[in-house]
Amino acid sequence: QVQLVDSGGGLVQAGGSLRLSCAASGGTFSFYAMGWFRQAPGKEREFVAAISWSGGSTYNTDSVKDRFTISRENAKNTVYLQMNSLKPEDTAVYYCAAAPSTSRIRSRDVAYWGQGTQITVSS
């Protein structure tokens, strides 16, 4: 059983930056692909980014390309989401996710979820 704890959320002005962290415990972190999803009020949870177990492959949804970067440190059992040039439409609860592969994350076939962290971007 893997536990994921998201952190790093907060309130930021448009154009600002934040870095989210997700710390994993209870399993072999390096066996899992990791990802980030977000859910805005009244909307479905959507895929944001994914990274392979080695970190060699990453995927972003089109709306965050060139602004968000996913990375991981297997030695620290942690995955990150660096968010730059934030926009009000990025406001959502962001969730960390783990799955055996990036393809499963991208298809929302997630094995484990973090508890979520709120990002609010003011205009």
The mean per-residue pLDDT over the stretch 25-41 comes to 93
CB 21 within 8 A of CB 6: yes
Q: What confidence tens digit (pLDDT) does each residue in 78-95 have?
A: 999 999 999 999 999 999
The yes-or-no verdict on residue 47 having pLDDT over 90 is: yes
Instruction: Please give the pLDDT value at position 30.
Output: 84
Instruction: Please give the pLDDT value at position 70.
Output: 98
- 36 bridge partner residues: 49, 96
Instruction: Please give the pLDDT value at position 3.
Output: 96
Average pLDDT, the chain: 96
Phi (first) and psi of residue 64, to 5 degrees: -120, 0
